[in-house]
């Protein structure tokens, strides 16, 4: 049983994973039960002054899954499909991810149900400032530290930091991460999630004897994560044969010209549509193309019972959060497709967010080489821990990652005991 408020396909998927992980860990029932429920959830109205003089009220959410290992951490998503259940699922996954990466954080997530691309810059700023004001009592460098996710970026974080700082009366750099460098952001944070995913792929290639230069890839999503991953794959010699985003998808048999595609999206509001260096294909065909590496880097729940039987890759590199339903995950395993799971693959973002928070706390900023080297070390260590546990227990990489993350949070809860 769980709270009806959270009911959604994503939350059900997150719970199904947790329940299965708890079973494999033989987790004490009281600890298991405590992990199934978010610690706190906030639902806020976000009245926003629009450019035409009207006021529109959007719905915003912030869910804090647990604060057992430290303050909680998680992104802020602006997307029309955001709802409380999705945010709660994403917050739970953040808990396992932070613990897997060895970071002193619990998991959180936020979101506003909005189509951000339909708002002007002023409207987005109004929305962000009002949302921040509504959740301000519940965030802070020692409480809960937001970061960008789908539909939000460095500018969103700058507005959040400014709003929170104005309420406090002084500059609080550590309240959000992935800020502009000038405001206390970390070098390499923007690249961190995509690069981190590429480091996992590189380690998998080294471990299992794959040659990245002989492989092909398909990437769904060409935003912060998808574009950096695509560039990194291109540098590894992997041929990216297709990419897609909310505007459409492009395909080229011999591999897309990635620098050309990046230049095209820069001049085209970030969108791949209209790229002359490939053929336009229907978006729904993208995930079904034969390839070696399939990297979902956009929305969740894109590999489901409906399409999993037609997926023709060798490896799924889960850059998005929750891209594969539990049912589809089982089919991928049956079909011999290796799944490198989200909590591992996209953990580079929160890892460099942690570095940023440390730098903000110390008011001492690191060189890019140091950030990158530390990121690679943490990603490689996390991959190796998952691979070793997967081998030892005969489980998938997903369950190895979840077992590591969940067991660390559970053990911290056991050590702290239950406050009456």
Any idea which residues carry the catalytic annotation?
109
Applying CB under 6 A, the span of 16-24, 29-37, 61-69, 148-156 interacting with ligand NAD comes to 148-156
Identify which of residues 106 and 223 has a Cβ nearer to ligand NAD in the complex: 223
Identify which of residues 177 and 216 has a Cβ nearer to ligand NAD in the complex: 177
Identify which of residues 148 and 185 has a Cβ nearer to ligand NAD in the complex: 148
- Name every residue whose Cβ is closer than 8 Å to that of residue 306 and which is 6 or more positions away in sequence: none
The whole-angstrom separation of Cα 38 and Cα 332 is 29
Task: Considering only residues 176 through 215, tell me which ones interact with ligand NAD, judged by CB under 6 A.
Answer: 193
Choose which of 85, 110, 278, 349 interacts with ligand NAD (CB under 6 A): 349
- Name every residue whose Cβ is closer than 8 Å to that of residue 91 and which is 6 or more positions away in sequence: 38, 63, 64, 65, 72, 74, 107, 108, 109
H or E stretch including 362? helix 347-362
Site size for ligand NAD (CB under 6 A): 24
End-to-end CA separation in angstroms for the chain? 23
Applying CB under 6 A, the span of 210-218, 291-299, 368-376, 395-403 interacting with ligand NAD comes to 291-299
Residue 124 is classified by DSSP as H
Q: How far is the CB of 147 from ligand NAD (least distance, A)?
A: 7
Question: Tokens 């997307």, residue?
Answer: 79
Task: Considering only residues 222 through 251, tell me which ones interact with ligand NAD, judged by CB under 6 A.
Answer: 222-226, 244-246
Residue-by-residue DSSP string for 294-310: EEE-S-SS-B-TTTGGG
Applying CB under 6 A, the span of 36-44, 203-211, 314-322, 379-387 interacting with ligand NAD comes to 314-322
Applying CB under 6 A, the span of 203-211, 294-302, 331-339, 366-374 interacting with ligand NAD comes to 294-302
CA angle 375, 380, 382 (to 5 degrees): 95
Q: How far is the CB of 281 from ligand NAD (least distance, A)?
A: 12
Identify which of residues 206 and 266 has a Cβ nearer to ligand NAD in the complex: 266
Identify which of residues 60 and 349 has a Cβ nearer to ligand NAD in the complex: 349
Would you state the structure tokens that stand for residue 406, as one six-digit string? 């969940």
What are residue 219's DSSP bridge partners?
243, 295
Alpha-helical segments (H) within 178-325 = 189-208, 224-236, 258-266
- Which residues make up the interface to ligand NAD (CB under 6 A)? 148-151, 193, 220-226, 244-246, 283, 297-299, 319-321, 346, 349
């Amino acid at each position: 049983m769980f709270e009806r408020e959270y009911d959604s396909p994503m939350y059900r998927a997150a719970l199904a994973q947790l329940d299965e992980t708890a079973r494999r860990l033989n987790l004490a029932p009281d600890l298991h039960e405590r992990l199934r429920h978010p610690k706190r959830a906030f639902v806020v109205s976000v009245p926003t002054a629009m450019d035409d003089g009207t006021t529109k009220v959007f719905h915003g959410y912030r869910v804090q899954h647990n604060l057992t290992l430290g303050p909680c951490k998680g992104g802020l998503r602006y997307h029309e499909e955001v709802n409380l259940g999705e945010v709660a699922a994403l917050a739970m996954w953040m808990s396992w991810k932070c613990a897997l990466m060895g970071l002193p954080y619990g998991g959180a997530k936020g979101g506003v149900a909005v189509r951000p691309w339909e708002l002007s810059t002023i409207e987005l700023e109004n929305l962000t400032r009002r949302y921040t004001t509504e959740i301000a009592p519940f965030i802070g460098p020692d409480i809960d530290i937001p970061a960008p996710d789908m539909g939000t970026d460095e500018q969103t974080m700058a507005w959040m930091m400014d709003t929170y700082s104005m309420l406090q009366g002084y500059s609080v750099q550590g309240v959000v991460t992935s800020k502009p460098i000038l405001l206390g952001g970390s070098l390499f944070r923007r690249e961190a999630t995509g690069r981190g995913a590429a480091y996992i792929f590189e380690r998998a290639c080294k471990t299992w004897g794959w040659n990245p230069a002989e492989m092909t890839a398909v990437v769904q999503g060409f935003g912060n994560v998808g574009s950096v991953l695509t560039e990194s794959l291109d540098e590894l010699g992997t041929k990216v044969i297709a990419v897609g985003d909310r505007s459409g998808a492009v395909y080229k048999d011999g591999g897309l010209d990635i620098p050309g595609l990046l230049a095209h999206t820069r001049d085209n509001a970030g969108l791949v549509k209209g790229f002359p260096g490939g053929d336009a294909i229907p978006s729904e065909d993208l995930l079904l193309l034969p390839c070696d590496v399939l990297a979902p880097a956009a929305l969740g729940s894109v590999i489901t019972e409906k399409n999993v039987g037609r997926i023709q890759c060798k490896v799924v590199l889960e850059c998005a959060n929750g891209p594969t339903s539990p049912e589809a995950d089982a089919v991928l395993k049956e079909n011999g497709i290796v799944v490198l799971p989200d909590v591992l693959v996209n953990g580079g973002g929160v890892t460099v967010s942690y570095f940023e928070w440390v730098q903000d706390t110390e008011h001492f900023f690191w060189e890019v080489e140091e950030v990158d080297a530390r990121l690679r070390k943490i990603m490689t260590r996390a991959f190796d821990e998952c691979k070793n546990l997967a081998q030892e227990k005969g489980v998938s990489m997903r369950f190895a990652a979840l077992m590591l993350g969940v067991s660390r949070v559970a053990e911290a809860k056991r050590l702290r005991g239950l406050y009456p």
